[in-house]
Structure 1
Amino acid sequence: MKTSTSEGKHGIRWTAQNQLDDLDFADDLALLSHTHEQMQMKTASVTAVSASVDLSIHKGKTTVLKFKEENSNPITLDGETLEDVESFTYLRNIIDEQGGSDADVKARIGKARAAFPQLKNIWNSKQLSTNIKVRIFNTNIKAVLLYGAETWRTTTTIIKKVQVFINSCLRKTLNIHWPIPSAIAFCGREQTNFQLKKLGKDDGNG
């Protein structure tokens, strides 16, 4: 990648002194550019460098996501048009054209909601203490829920959605009905707020 991106500054601004050209993990590659022209040049460069070491890019698995880009021309790879998409999944996180985290948060809540009833024997157990149940919830359900939360734009709306789900699970886990006792509110809200807010400054947007 260093070879294919060394010819010019075609990435996005990351810090005052640095730019981000790509995200790499194993054989997954996400190229980043500010303009259509830069992305086309970078795509061609990566393709050429890859071919020089007998590597090829799978065109069928390569897609393009545009964010606030007025140029509607397609990005091509070896003369073939790459598919434009509204969202894609990278390292199990959803990236969409809106640039926010709502789609990914919705997906994580869905996965955690699906995982929760699989442990119903634990939640319904009379032998396990409240402390043990909460620890199991944190390690098996909340871990699924907050996977990839480092990339979320942690708005008050997102924090509220996550908290509503957690409170619902804790009520079922501990067989507690409305109103929620302060102990349960603390158990879910305080820890979750800390986990989310330490990942990124809460900008207060909805």
Structure 2
Amino acid sequence: MNKYELLESWTDWILERKLLRFDGVVIGLDSSVSDLNYADDIGAFTADPAPAQAIVNEIPLFSQLLGKKINAVKTKAMDLSIQSDYQLVLHGQEFEKADSFTYLDSIIDLRGSCDSDIQYTINKAQVIFSQLHRHL
């Protein structure tokens, strides 16, 4: 097992232990998701802001075991609820609120629409085809 696989295994272990008691967000009729992770990027989901702050408080404690530190300045929060006006804080630093983010080259936005993701993919294809055209 190389160091990246080890890091991902430890990240999975931490998330499994810390997010196990949180319900996450319901998807479909009987499923829920509480986190997504890729390498050292983590996305945690909750339907209620109170558990979100608890997650923000606890994950850094376990991340330190791996020699990792959560950078509050680079961390963003996206609130999909209509009425919520909470602010997540880590080490006295408020997380910037995001209207969208890119995860594994897919754009996720507040509307839940895939329009911006489709447009982004079309734009990338146009750039690539224009570069190919010069070489043909």
Same fold (TM over 0.5): yes
Secondary structure of 1:2 counterpart: helix
- The percentage of counterpart residues that share the same residue type is 25
Which whole-Å CA distance do the structure 1 matches of 2:35 and 2:112 have between them?
A: 17
Letter in 2 for 1:66: D
Does residue 78 of structure 2 align to residue 65 of structure 1?
Answer: yes
CA distance in 2, matches of 1:18, 1:79: 34
Q: How does 1:46-85 map to 2 (within 5 A)?
A: 46-85=59-98
Q: 1:18 & 1:9 partners in 2: Cα distance? A: 13
Across the two proteins, how many residue pairs are aligned to each other? Answer: 122
Displacement after TM superposition at 1:19 (Å): 2.3
Q: CA RMSD in A?
A: 1.9
Aligned-residue offset at 1:26: 0.6
Task: Identify the residue that residue 95 of structure 1 maps to in structure 2.
Answer: 108
* Residues in 2 aligned to 1:65 and 1:86: alpha-carbon distance in whole angstroms: 6
Q: Offset at 1:17?
A: 4.5
Q: Does 1:22 align with 2:35?
A: yes
2:5 aligned partner: none
TM-score, with length taken from structure 2: 0.79
Give the aligned partner of residue 12 of structure 2: none
The CA deviation at 1:82 is: 0.4
User: What amino acid is the match of 2:123?
Assistant: G
Q: Which amino acid aligns with 2:33?
A: L
Task: Give the letter for the 1:2 counterpart.
Answer: E
Q: Which is worse superposed, 85-94 or 8-17? A: 8-17
Query: In structure 1, what is the Cα distance between the partners aligned to 2:66 and 2:123?
Result: 42
Unaligned runs of 5+ in 1: 125-206
Cα distance in 2 between the residues matched to 1:53 and 1:10: 25
In the TM superposition, what whole-angstrom CA distance separates every residue of 1:89-133 from its partner, at most 9, and x where no partner exists? 1112111111110111111111111111222267x6xxxxxxxxx
1:45, CA displacement in angstroms? 1.9
Q: Pick closer, same or farther for the CA change 1:62–1:73 going to 2, 3 Å.
A: same
Distance 2:127 2:115 in 1: 18
Structure having the higher helix fraction is: 1
CA distance in 2, matches of 1:75, 1:10: 19
1:146-203 CA distance string (max 9 Å, x none): xxxxxxxxxxxxxxxxxxxxxxxxxxxxxxxxxxxxxxxxxxxxxxxxxxxxxxxxxx
TM-score (norm 1): 0.54
Amino acid in the other structure paired with 1:67: L
Is 1:10–1:42's contact at 8 Å kept on the other side of the alignment? Answer: no
CA offset at residue 18 of structure 1?
3.9
Deviations 1:3-39, CA, capped at 9 Å, x for gaps: 2113x22311235554211001111111111121121
> Is the strand fraction higher in 1 or 2?
2
